[in-house]
Structure 1
Amino acid sequence: MSIDRSETLSAVRALFHDYPCRYWIAGGWALDLFAGRVRRQHGDADVVVLARDLDEVARTFTRPRPSVQNPETGECRPWAPGEQLAPGPNALVFPDSLHPHPIQILFAASDAGEWVYHRGRGTIRKPLDEITLRSPDGLPYLAPEIVLLFKSRGGRPKDNDDFADVAELLDPERRRWLFDRIAPRYPEHPWLTALR
Structure 2
Amino acid sequence: MNSLSFVQAYFADYPARYWIAGGWALDLFVDRVRRPHTDVDVLVLARDLDRVAETFTDPRPTVENPNTGEQRPWEPGEPLTPGPDVLAFPDDLFPAPLRIILAASDDTDWIYHRGRGTVRKPLDEITLASSDGIPYLAPEIVLLFKSRSDRPKDTEDFHDVATHLDPHRRTWLHDHIAPRHPNHAWLPALT
**Are positions 1:34 and 2:29 aligned together?**
yes
Could you tell me how far 1:101 is from its partner in structure 2?
0.7
Task: Measure the CA separation in 1 of the matches of 2:132 and 2:5.
Answer: 11
Of 112, 119, 137, the match for 1:117: 112
Sequence identity of aligned pairs in percent? Answer: 70
Partner of 1:71: 66
- The alignment partner of 2:150 has SS state of coil
Partner of 2:96: 101
Partner of 2:127: 132
Partner of 1:176: 171
Could you tell me how far 1:15 is from its partner in structure 2?
1.2
AA aligned to 1:118 is H
Could you tell me how far 1:70 is from its partner in structure 2?
1.4
How many residues align? The count is 191
**Are positions 1:24 and 2:14 aligned together?**
no
Structure 2: gaps (5+ residues): none
Runs of 4+ in 1 over 6 A off after TM superposition: none
Output one character per residue of 1:53-81: Cα deviation in whole Å (capped at 9) or x when no partner: 00000000001111110123111111111
Of 83, 86, 91, the match for 2:78: 83
Q: What is the TM-score when the length of structure 1 is the normalising length?
A: 0.96
Of 34, 45, 56, the match for 2:40: 45
Output one character per residue of 1:86-113: Cα deviation in whole Å (capped at 9) or x when no partner: 1001001111111111000010000000
- The alignment partner of 2:44 has SS state of strand
Give matches, 1:139-158, under 5 Å.
139-158=134-153
Task: Measure the CA separation in 1 of the matches of 2:9 and 2:70.
Answer: 26
- The alignment partner of 1:115 has SS state of strand
- The alignment partner of 1:138 has SS state of coil
